Structures are given as C-alpha cells and as structure tokens.
C-alpha cells in the first residue's frame, strides 16, 4: 500500500496486478476524523505498469478532493 496526504485527506492506494496489466483500489479518508469519504477502483489490466496505475490513482484522488473539499471551521460561510 502506498499513501500520501493532500488538503486534509489521507489517500491510500493498493496496486492490483494481473497478467494483462495493473489496476488500483484507492481510499480517501478525512485525515482528522478517519471517516472514509470515497473509494475508487480501476480493475487490473487497465494500466501497463504499476507506476502508471499509481500516478493515475493519486491524480484521480487529488481531482476528487479538489471537487469535494472539506468545510473547515475557519472557512467563510457558504451562501
């Protein structure tokens, strides 16, 4: 499992290998509470290499987080 943090979230990626290529399962959790916010899956065989699968997983996770930010206590009120 490989992980990183981004904007208050923990991203964990597990590579899935098969004879025809790689895929991944990723979990996005709120770093402060540990609550799972999202789970994404790309089946084995989607990518030619493990590195490409990891790169895609982290890019997809960051894009999801950017579109679904946490509402921090110090953020301005939403109208």
Inside any domain, residue 75: no
* Structural contact between residues 15 and 47, judged by C-beta atoms closer than 8 angstroms: no
Inside any domain, residue 78: no
What tokens appear for 25 in the block?
A: 């399962």
Q: Is the pLDDT of residue 78 over 60?
A: no
Inside any domain, residue 58: yes
Structural domain that includes position 29: 2-66
3-state secondary structure at position 30:
strand
DSSP assignment string, 7-25: TTEEEEEEEEEETTEEEEE
Inside any domain, residue 73: no
Model confidence at 1, pLDDT cuts 50, 70, 90, reads confident
Residue 32, phi then psi, degrees to nearest 5: -75, -40
How many distinct structural domains can be found in the chain? 1
Instruction: Give the model confidence (pLDDT) of 7-66 as tens digits.
Output: 889 999 999 999 999 999 999 999 888 999 999 999 999 999 999 999 999 999 999 999
What tokens appear for 34 in the block?
A: 């540990």
């Amino acid at each position: 499992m490989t992980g990183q943090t981004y904007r208050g979230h923990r991203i964990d990626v597990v590579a899935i290998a098969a004879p025809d290529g790689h895929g991944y399962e990723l979990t996005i959790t709120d770093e402060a509470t540990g609550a799972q916010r999202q789970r994404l899956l790309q089946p084995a065989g989607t990518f030619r290499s493990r590195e490409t699968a990891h790169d895609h997983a982290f890019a997809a996770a960051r894009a999801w987080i950017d579109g679904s930010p946490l509402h921090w206590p110090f953020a301005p009120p939403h109208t």
